[in-house]
Structure 1
Amino acid sequence: MTVSDEAVQAAVDPAVDNWLDAGWSDRELRADVSVGLSSTPKELPPKWFYDDLGSELFDEITRLDEYYPTRREREILEREADAIAAASEADCIAELGSGTSTKTRILLDAFAAAGQLRRYVPFDNSAATLRAAAREVADAYPGLAVRGVVGDFEHHLGHLPLDDVDAPTGALPRAPAMVMLLGGTVGNFSPARRPAFLDAVAGAMQTGDTFLLGTDLVKDAGRLVAAYDDAAGVTARFNLNVLSVLNRRLGADFDLDAFAHEAVFDAGNEWIEMRLRSLRTQTVHIPALEMTVDFVAGERMRTEISAKFRPERVRAELGAAGLVVQRMWTDAEGDYALTLARRVRRT
């Protein structure tokens, strides 16, 4: 690419605000592994599943017969996109964990058809993925203002540019914005951490803005477990791959053949728990952390929780954050829900 080509490309690429410095990912990984593998029981956060191979495996998981959430969510989006646009009254969509923004096109089309699509704000912690997706969306929707944010849920939601920075001084108050989190991602937060996350989401919004949330619903335990422990073993490979991430990035010597994938439904907490079970007594070395970790035979390390919700729980948790439910849509089987809640002024 010539210098002039680079200048042209820079002029047309959507703006992206990057709040993560070059060392962020390494610092977060080291801290998470150090704390998680020193805990009892041991655990690793699920965000480290998604290296290139992990992302490919998860994409494969979403197409498996057993894994219903992606299909159910898409079913609701395709059926109710027009109703979501009308109920939100928004002309700006901000998407948390936007990834490739594939499902988002359903809503963008509906908002555009209603004449209320002005701005799109994708938010993700992968700068490369976000920039590519933002470029594709900008190309597909000429005239749409796209401004991406590279950041972390726990630190940077307050930087969501929901207000139009280019609006002239004295302009009329903006239309409502709609922030959304799809894919059931909220279920990966523990009950102790979800309130702070929802408070941060609400804190990024103005009174009158809306929040569109995807949640997997409580159902038969057999179907839930099958969705996380498929017959083809794709989810097992996905789970074990997190050990490969630690081997590659921290110099660890995890033997993937010495661990087995497990998925169980915890009925008391109403969540799926994914684990890696040590098949033998072993010691793992992690040179980058100057750390050794002992596992006894049969010991389980938690790698993910995926909470399942009841409608009343969704309403209560959103309400506690100042987000009042306006509409809730489910698929025909009642497997999954999309909830639209409006930010109200707190007293």
Structure 2
Amino acid sequence: MPNTARPIPAPATGSAFASDLAAGLSSRPKRLAPKYFYDAAGSALFEDITALPEYYPTRTEMQILRERAGEIGALVPQDAVLVEFGSGSSAKVRLLLEEMPQLAAYVPVDISGDFLEEAAQALRAEVPGLPVLPVAADFTQAFDLPQDVRDLPRIGFFPGSTIGNFDPDAARDFLGNALHTLGPGSRLIVGVDLVKDPRLLNAAYNDAAGVTARFNLNLLTRANRELGTDFDPDAFAHRAFFNAPSSRIEMHLVSRSPQAIHLGGRTFPFAAGESLHTESSYKYTPASFAALARSAGWTPEALWTDRDRLFSVHVLRA
């Protein structure tokens, strides 16, 4: 199911979706990147998920950010630029801006250009003295910051445990790219979901109202609409579970019976019980995430958790 807050955004073109889906249906086991969850319907379902009683990550991270906003704000240099990777609606950064009067600019980065500009316009109205300079880009790849802020000190913001949607090697790559983007002397604030009782994890991804199941199955509806596939969503079942050896939640769509899916003139068979792996959400201990950060060139500087140690916010220093 979705990661612990800010989803990895959808691609700009259907052709990338088609090629990735064909490759994923050809792989063993079958898989697809979770960024394809987030069409309009998927994004709305994700927002519903964040409000579910079982889904602790969003409210827990926001609680930490509210409580620690002053300490986080004190880390920001004078005339710094705050760069948010995968900003979405910029909801969480609003918890911090009041404690960051020294900011020279805020740069939200997201792949969805239209949505990004709408969010930027709303934030400009709320904080009229703060320059908001959106960058439409895939934050998992290298991108250029606006010319006006390239000489300013930088602090990065990556909430939501979106880092958990990357496998460890890809997470290391992301952290390395972020270090390159932010540069020497910078800091990066990262939200990270923690290892905990598997019953809490499994409940968060198998809510009683079935919203996460609808979110997962919407991927098939999107493929039918945008790519002309012939998935029958009723022929697949949502399955999510904690894989303890890999320290990750896995989310799958499991074929209820033998069937075949057609895409671009090709046929992709499913056996009964065969699954399409749609997401992994890695969970860390404070020590394991610190080790990952160090391997990418960062130095852990601060760590905050909620009282129950469900979630963590890390500050990394370049």
TM-score (norm 1): 0.86
Q: What does residue 75 of structure 2 align with?
A: 87
Amino acid at match of 2:69: A
Q: What does residue 239 of structure 1 align with?
A: 216
Distance 2:238 2:176 in 1: 34
- Contact kept? 2:137, 2:143, Cα under 8 Å: no
- Aligned with 1:332: secondary structure? coil
Amino acid at match of 1:33: L
- Of the three residues 314, 319, 322, the one matched with 2:297 is 322
Q: What does residue 299 of structure 1 align with?
A: 274
Distance 2:143 2:215 in 1: 32
Q: Does 1:187 align with 2:164?
A: yes
- Contact kept? 1:92, 1:162, Cα under 8 Å: no
- Contact kept? 2:12, 2:111, Cα under 8 Å: no
- Aligned with 1:146: secondary structure? coil
- Aligned with 1:274: secondary structure? strand
Q: Does 1:335 align with 2:302?
A: no
Alignment of 1:161-240 (within 5 A): 161=146, 164=149, 174=152, 176-240=153-217
Amino acid at match of 2:99: A
Tell me by how many angstroms 1:319 deviates: 1.0
Distance 1:267 1:309 in 2: 11
- Contact kept? 2:83, 2:157, Cα under 8 Å: yes
Q: What does residue 18 of structure 1 align with?
A: none
Q: What does residue 48 of structure 1 align with?
A: 36
- Of the three residues 53, 58, 74, the one matched with 2:46 is 58
Amino acid at match of 2:91: T
- Contact kept? 1:162, 1:177, Cα under 8 Å: no
The one-character-per-residue Cα deviations of 1:241-268 (angstroms, maximum 9, x if unpaired) are 0001100110001000000000011000
Amino acid at match of 1:74: M
Q: What does residue 4 of structure 2 align with?
A: none
Q: Does 1:105 align with 2:82?
A: no
Tell me by how many angstroms 1:27 deviates: 3.0
Amino acid at match of 1:150: A
Q: Does 1:121 align with 2:107?
A: yes
Tell me by how many angstroms 1:162 deviates: 8.1
Tell me by how many angstroms 1:206 deviates: 1.6
The one-character-per-residue Cα deviations of 1:278-301 (angstroms, maximum 9, x if unpaired) are 000001112xx3221100101111
Distance 2:177 2:48 in 1: 32
- Which 4+ residue blocks in structure 1 deviate beyond 4 angstroms? none
Alignment of 1:250-261 (within 5 A): 250-261=227-238
- Of the three residues 92, 116, 136, the one matched with 2:122 is 136
Aligned residues: 307
- Contact kept? 2:188, 2:317, Cα under 8 Å: yes
The one-character-per-residue Cα deviations of 1:50-75 (angstroms, maximum 9, x if unpaired) are 11111111101000000000011000
- Aligned with 1:212: secondary structure? strand
Q: What does residue 273 of structure 1 align with?
A: 250
Q: Does 1:160 align with 2:145?
A: yes
Q: Which runs of 5+ in 1 are unaligned?
A: 1-22, 166-172
- Contact kept? 1:81, 1:106, Cα under 8 Å: yes
- Aligned with 2:26: secondary structure? coil
- Contact kept? 1:158, 1:203, Cα under 8 Å: no
Amino acid at match of 1:305: S
Tell me by how many angstroms 1:89 deviates: 2.9
Alignment of 1:140-151 (within 5 A): 140-151=126-137
- Aligned with 2:103: secondary structure? coil
- Contact kept? 1:162, 1:205, Cα under 8 Å: no
Distance 1:87 1:81 in 2: 10
Tell me by how many angstroms 1:24 deviates: 4.2
- Aligned with 2:182: secondary structure? coil
Distance 1:162 1:183 in 2: 28
Distance 1:94 1:69 in 2: 22
Bigger Cα displacement from structure 2, 189-198 vs 210-219: 189-198
Distance 1:163 1:339 in 2: 28
